Structure 1
Amino acid sequence: MSGQGAALYGGRFNSKGVPALYASLSVLTALREANQVGDLQPTTLVCYRAAIAMVFDTNDAAALDAAGLDEAALADPSWRDQMKATGEAKTQRFARDLIGAGYNGLLVRSFAKGAGPGDMNLVLWRWGKGTSSLLELIDDEDRLR
């Protein structure tokens, strides 16, 4: 829930130092995302209860075009190389601009192997109780203690 893992290394939609929480809208998408290299690895899946305002939807082609991006730019696998070369990938700059504009998150399709257009992820930069981006971990049986 802290987003510190993403902040430590940076991700496709967050620069190093920027906490982010990457979530998937379906279990299968989450498994694909968590296991992008090699064979299926042990994976812990959790569920959240969420009420998130101000989420940029990359399915809105006009809004994406207005931001100077298209799906190919979002899917560009060279984002890590861009980050190493310039300090910030194009998708990370896009995220920084969205954060500055007050967005709490980004709805974007998964680019993991085997994912299709309906496999969606939610990337959050702001979340917590008592905010416009309410996120609560569901663990009714206290299994994660």
Structure 2
Amino acid sequence: MRFEGLLYRALNPVWARDPLSGEGARRHGGRFNPKGMPALYTSLSIMTAIREANQIGTLQPTTLVAYRGDLEPVFDATNLDAAREYGFGPADLGGDGWRVRMRDDGKAPTQLLAERLIAAGYVGLRVRSFARGAGDADLNLVLWRWSDAAPARLVLVDDERRLG
């Protein structure tokens, strides 16, 4: 699928000066990227982005940013038939054990899925948010490839150059 529109991200302020780096995800790994692989975890709504950035404990300081995206191909994991073709269902995608599997096995099954999708040419993954309080309508777009040009165009919205 092609995604064209606004995306949102609630960043740890440590990364606010470089909101296109994917460095935090590269260092720590995420549900859909193993350690060593940069990724941008973006959301299709502001509230989903805030939920994603504050999954543990009380609201922590965040920097909210927006991007304009024109990205393809994006794998749509909300399409259950497409996800099943890769051997994944909603419970597999949203399972809480991915951190333990990453620690114990080196990579979680969802990280292995990401590697398969990247090898198949996908620049990102559209998937339901699994953050506390999120519902079926809360969607994320996890990006593995992005640049300022097609087919994975992602541009930070910072018309007033507030981030320097």
Shorter chain as denominator, the TM-score bin is over 0.9
Asked if structure 1 preserves the Cα contact closer than 8 Å seen for 2:71 and 2:153, the reply is yes
Residue number in structure 2 paired with 1:28? 47
Report the alpha carbon displacement of residue 129 of structure 1 after superposing the two structures with TM.
1.2
Q: Distance in 1 between matches of 2:88 and 2:107?
A: 15
Structure 1, unaligned stretches of length 5 or more? none
Q: Distance in 1 between matches of 2:126 and 2:29?
A: 18
Q: Distance in 2 between matches of 1:42 and 1:18?
A: 25
Structure with bigger strand share is: 2
Identity %, equivalent residues? 55
Residue number in structure 2 paired with 1:8? 27
SS at match of 2:162: coil
Residue number in structure 1 paired with 2:3? none
Structure 2, unaligned stretches of length 5 or more? 1-19
Query: Is residue 115 from structure 1 mapped to residue 142 from structure 2 by the alignment?
Result: no
Residue number in structure 1 paired with 2:81? 62
Residue number in structure 1 paired with 2:109? 90
- TM-score, normalising length: structure 1: 0.98
Letter in 2 for 1:65: R
- CA deviation digits over 1:51-81, x for unaligned, max 9? 0011000111111111000000001100010
Residue number in structure 2 paired with 1:77? 96
Q: Which runs of 4+ in 1 moved over 2 A?
A: none
Residue number in structure 1 paired with 2:154? 135
Q: Distance in 1 between matches of 2:162 and 2:91?
A: 40
Report the alpha carbon displacement of residue 131 of structure 1 after superposing the two structures with TM.
3.3
Q: Distance in 2 between matches of 1:96 and 1:111?
A: 20
SS at match of 2:131: coil
Letter in 2 for 1:83: M
Residue number in structure 1 paired with 2:65? 46
SS at match of 1:97: helix
- CA deviation digits over 1:19-55, x for unaligned, max 9? 1000011000011111111111221100101100110
Report the alpha carbon displacement of residue 14 of structure 1 after superposing the two structures with TM.
0.3
